[in-house]
Amino acid sequence: MIVVFDTNAYRNIVSRISKDEAVAKVVDIKHKEFEKGIIPFMSTTVAMELLSHLCDVKTSRNYQSCLKASQVMYLHCGDEKGFRLLPLPETQISYEYFNIINIHSFNTQQAVGQLLYLIAKNPTDETVDSKMSELQKIRNFIDTGEQTLANEIERFCRMIDPTFTDWTIFKNDAKNRSEFLKNVRSEKFYKITAEAYLTAVVQDLKNKGYAINSNIDETMIFKYVENYKASLQFRTWFFSQLVNGNFDLTKGSRTNFVWDELILHFIGQSCNNDPIMLVTSDGRMYDAVRGVYPNDLDTIIKTYEEYMDFLGL
């Protein structure tokens, strides 16, 4: 079995302990995983979330936690010889649906892994400062992605509801609220989302100079819906919050949705015929998986606490 930890799982490992204690803890985790035939792989999305916080103020909790978590992530999934990672969704989909090896995306993954390696070898402020240019690019990517999400969702809300205020659509319109919820929970919504994601991958590949047939047919859409039900379920939850009141995407960490959705692309998948398990303490992600695979939770997703119990730690 392959296991992937999300951002909070790595931060849980290092919580309230020193760097040396965190290293000892991940060594214990790897030993127990080896005994059970479990191979840890890293998610590039998770790595980028952790690395982006190394641009924070060095005395901040986020910086201190993510510096330790970045080291632990590499030690968990790699060594001096190399590291194990699963492809980003756009890398996988480029190959699976369009038979294109997305070298640009692959190179991004390698660069992120190499940054983690340098931090794992020498997890100091000086190492972070020496790579600040690369880290800032990651931070800009994360910030831009989250800001774009907030802007596009707001634009969408204003388009379907001219009275949109307080990040709530159809605030005084029970009929349209009900219809909206019905739509985002429908198979049609899944298909629209699938087509939109595949179209975005096609456009990205074209922008990078790849020759690609841009025709997206019903078979491809059906395949995407079948393969990525958990991420689609999570998107349904997210959109349903827009009728509940004050779901302000400019506050807190709600725009993290975009990264959680990408991580959920691993659910129900395998690599070299080995099933993939996700470890996350995010309740919304867990609920999305439960909604799709209610009878398979024990083999495809665990909370951090459940996973530690499973390992006997």
Q: What is the DSSP letter of 88?
A: P
**pLDDT band at 302, cuts 50/70/90?**
very high
Is residue 298's pLDDT more than 90?
Answer: no
CA–CA distance, 193 with 136 (Å, rounded to integer)? 30
Cβ-in-10-Å burial (0-12, 13-18, 19+) of 53 comes to: buried
Interhelix angle 61-77/103-121, nearest 10 degrees: 110
* Average pLDDT of the segment spanning 249-253: 70
Among 113-117, 119-123, 150-154, 285-289, the minimum mean pLDDT is found in: 150-154
pLDDT > 70 in the chain, percent: 99
Residue pLDDT, tens place only, 43-78: 999 999 999 999 999 999 999 999 999 999 999 999
* Model pLDDT, residue 244: 80
Residue pLDDT, tens place only, 115-124: 999 999 999 9
CA–CA distance, 305 with 307 (Å, rounded to integer)? 5
Q: Which of 250, 260, 310 is nearest to 281 (CA)?
A: 260
Contact 32, 311 (CB under 8 A): yes
* Model pLDDT, residue 135: 95
Q: What is the pTM of this model?
A: 0.90
**pLDDT band at 252, cuts 50/70/90?**
low
CA–CA distance, 265 with 73 (Å, rounded to integer)? 20
Is the model more confident about 229 or about 253? Answer: 229
CA–CA distance, 40 with 77 (Å, rounded to integer)? 5
